Amino acid sequence: MSTVPSQHSAPDSYDYEFELASLVQDTAPRMFAVVVEYAVGTEDADAVVVAWGHAHEGGRTEVVGTHGRRWSLTSPDLVTRFFPPAEGCSPRLVWLAPDAAREAA
């Protein structure tokens, strides 16, 4: 038994700009800050951004400290080793949400 194609079966038009934007969004590195927090859990709690990083697919990570030092790492979690915890302070990664970055722009 053969099927007769619909007369309204025209293919959807290809939206190159949409596809390009999707490609860029899907392959963009994730951005994060390295933050050193002080006196967490107290009313004197504070923090300072000490570096910014990009994590790529597969884990490759590029980090730039706020004073210009650079690191190339195999994982974003390794960067906290360069900011060891001390009494009353500790480093951590804070990931930027993709939607928050778009809304701010």
* Whether the Cβ atoms of residue 96 and residue 32 lie closer than 8 Å to each other: yes
- 9 falls within a domain: no
Specify the pTM.
0.72
Q: Give the model confidence (pLDDT) of 52-71 as tens digits.
A: 999 998 899 999 999 999 99
Please give the structure tokens belonging to residue 24: 């860029």
pLDDT of residue 13: 75
User: Using 50, 70 and 90 to split pLDDT, how confident is the model at 104?
Assistant: very low
- 4 falls within a domain: no
Please list, residue by residue across 5-40, b when 16 or more beta carbons sit within 10 angstroms of its beta carbon and e when fewer do: eeeeeeeeeeeeeeeeeeeeeeeeeeebbbbbbeee
- 70 falls within a domain: yes
Does residue 80 carry a pLDDT above 90? yes
Does residue 9 carry a pLDDT above 90? no
User: Using 50, 70 and 90 to split pLDDT, how confident is the model at 85?
Assistant: confident
Q: How many domains does the chain have?
A: 1
- 6 falls within a domain: no
Taking the C-alpha atoms of residue 21 and residue 17, their distance in angstroms, rounded to an integer, is: 6
- Length in residues, the chain: 105
- 60 falls within a domain: yes
- Name every residue whose Cβ is closer than 8 Å to that of residue 35 and which is 6 or more positions away in sequence: 47, 48, 49, 50, 91, 92, 93, 94
Taking the C-alpha atoms of residue 102 and residue 38, their distance in angstroms, rounded to an integer, is: 29
Residue range of the domain that includes 81: 23-98
- 12 falls within a domain: no
- 89 falls within a domain: yes
